[in-house]
Amino acid sequence: MRNLSVVTEFILLGIPHTEGLEPMLFVLFSSFYILTLMGNLLILLAIVSCTRLHTPMYFFLCKLSVCDIFFPSVSSPKMLLYLSGNSRAVSYEGCVSQLFFYHFLGCTECFLYTVMAYDRFIAICHPLRYTSIMSHRVCAILAMGTSFFGCIQATFLTTLTFQLPYCGPNEVDYYFCDIPVMLKLACADTSGLELVGFISVGLMPLSCFLLILSSYSCIVCFILQIRSAKGRRHTFSTCSAHLAAILLFYMPVVLIYLWPTPSPWMDATVQVMNNLVTPMLNPLIYSLRNQEVKSSLRKVLHRLGFLPEQLEREIGS
């Protein structure tokens, strides 16, 4: 890929129409980033430290938290650096890495949501066979499969983007290297590659979404057969957090890659939501409606000294 290009580095211009707002954006985005890291690390500690949470559902939630730690770390550190007044330059290899890991972690997370929907389908519709179907071996295979297919998708998209020659302009009108903005800088006709990339980027999340929709259609049909209202509420509550996380994940994806004519400012705003806000909210979504996770989190915070024993008893009561 390098032999085809004369450009050795790219200049990130940042979020459009935010000139003069760099100090405020630095404080805002650094707060989001720190909260994201802390929230997902606490979820990991809470699940690992509590043996009751060593189940398939929480195993996949652990992997989701790992993805939510690394996903914003692909673009946020460089963005925070130039917002604080440092260089906006990123090397050619750094740009390739940024694009690869962004799509690798994003695709992995997309596949992971699909696996989590399948897990909820088995748990609700086939509870007696749940432990035999979702065995440790099956969970490990599914978890590795999400990363494997995410890597395949990211490798294809990265190769597709950087097989083009980059020999002229090197100013990226964005705050990180992504496919649409990189294709604009290529010194070649990109119409065919844009179509292939659009199909590839759109087909994968659409297929995952249809599988998730199928799983939840079966779950809804099963819930409607439960006679007691309390039973229906309890069963649905086990899925509500996952459904909320799916909506937060897919709304930005649709707006970024499938919206007909997005404005650069709107596109960047949605990307910030996708990169920083959604990973920050996931720990809250999965902990606020789950008593077991909240109980384990209280114990972790108490051990770390962030939650006094008296306050812990008051919260627990």
Delineate the domains of the chain, giving CATH numbers in brackets: 2-316 (1.20.1070.10)
Q: Can you give the pLDDT at residue 163?
A: 87
**Amino acid identity, position 256:** I
Q: Can you give the pLDDT at residue 33?
A: 93
What residue spans of 84-163 are helical by DSSP H?
92-125, 130-133, 136-162
Ranges under pLDDT 70 in the chain: 1-5, 194, 197-199, 253, 255-264, 288-289, 302, 304-317
**Sheet (strand 89-91) strand order:** 89-91, 9-12, 171-172
**Burial class for 72, CB neighbours closer than 10 Å (0-12, 13-18, 19+):** buried
pTM: 0.86
Q: Which of 85, 64, 91, 68 is nearest to 2 (CA)?
A: 91
**Burial class for 229, CB neighbours closer than 10 Å (0-12, 13-18, 19+):** exposed
Q: Can you give the pLDDT at residue 229?
A: 76
199 to 95, 274, 298: CA distances (angstroms):
23, 20, 45
Q: Can you give the pLDDT at residue 1?
A: 47
CB neighbour list of residue 182: distance below 8 Å, 6 or more residues apart: 95, 99, 161, 162, 166, 172
Q: Can you give the pLDDT at residue 99?
A: 93
The strand ranges marked E within 123-248 are: 171-172
Q: Can you give the pLDDT at residue 310?
A: 46
Cα–Cα distance, 8 to 18 (Å, whole number): 27
290 within 8 A of 241, measured Cβ to Cβ: yes
Q: Can you give the pLDDT at residue 187?
A: 85
- Around 236, how many Cα atoms within 13 Å sit in the side-chain half-sphere? 14
